[in-house]
Structure 1
Amino acid sequence: MMQIVLQHVSVPRPPGEESAERARQFYGGLLGLTEKPVPSTITHLGLVWFKIGAETELHVFSESDSDTASGRHFCLNVGDVEAMRQALTDAGYEPWNPEAIQGRPRFFCRDPFDNIVEFTQIVDDYMKFQSGD
C-alpha cells in the first residue's frame, strides 16, 4: 500500500504586503518556523511558505474573502504547550481551551488573519484513557 504523508497546509491571509509581513512575524518570528523560498514560477501569487518539521510546509496565501466562522484548523505539535500559550498571550493573542484530550494538552488560538491554529503536546497515548478498553 502507498504511504500517504501530509505535505502542506494552506491558510488564507488578506491581500497585500502588509499581511505577508504579519504572516512572517507570527509564523516566523513568534512561532519560530523557518520561511522557505516560494518556487519562482508562482512568486507572483504573493505566497509565504514556512517549513514545519522535516518535510511538512505551511503555505500562507492571499485571498480577498475568507470564512472566519469556520472550525477549519491545523494543529502544531510543540515541545512545551504551556510555554507556547504564554508566548502567544504575551504577544497579545487570546488562546482558548477546547474539550480536553487525555495525554494531549492543547489549546486553540487565531493567527493575525483569524485562521484557527491548534497547539498540542503529545505526552501520552490517549487510547490508554479510553473507557471500556
Structure 2
Amino acid sequence: MLASVSMAQAILESDWGTSDLAVEGKNLFGIKGQYKKQSIKYPTQEFKDDEWITVEAAFRKYSSWEESMNDHVKLFKEGTTWNANQYKEVLVAKDYKKGTTALQKAGYATDPDYADKLVSVIEKYKLMEYD
C-alpha cells in the first residue's frame, strides 16, 4: 500500500489522531470488529440506500497506535475473513489516485466520496512525496 494512502486514511479516519476512537481506542483507521477480543462502541455515519444513517458499531480497540498501524497493514495483506484478496488492488496500485479508487471499490468505507476525500488530503499535504 502506498504510504500516502495509508497516511491520508489515518488523517481522515482519526481527525489527526484527535477523534474519540483514536484517543480512547487507539484506532487510527476506523477498523470495525475486535482486536484481541477488544472493541469499543461508537455511533458512526454510514451511507446506505442513498442516505446517511447513524449506527452504533463496534470498532477494534488497541493498546497503542503502533498496534493499530500494524493491524491495518495486516488487514490489507491478509484481507478479510470472507475475502483474502479484498484489498489486492490497493496493494498493487502504483499511484495514489488508483490506490484510493481501489480502496473505495473494495468497500473499505461506505462514503461514496471516500476516494475523493483521501485524494484531497494527499494533495493538500503533498503526501505523495512519501510514495
TM-score bracket relative to the smaller structure? under 0.3
More strand by share: 1
- Structure 1 or 2, whichever has the larger Rg, is 1
- The one of the two structures with greater contact order (alpha-carbon pairs below 8 A, sep at least 6) is 2
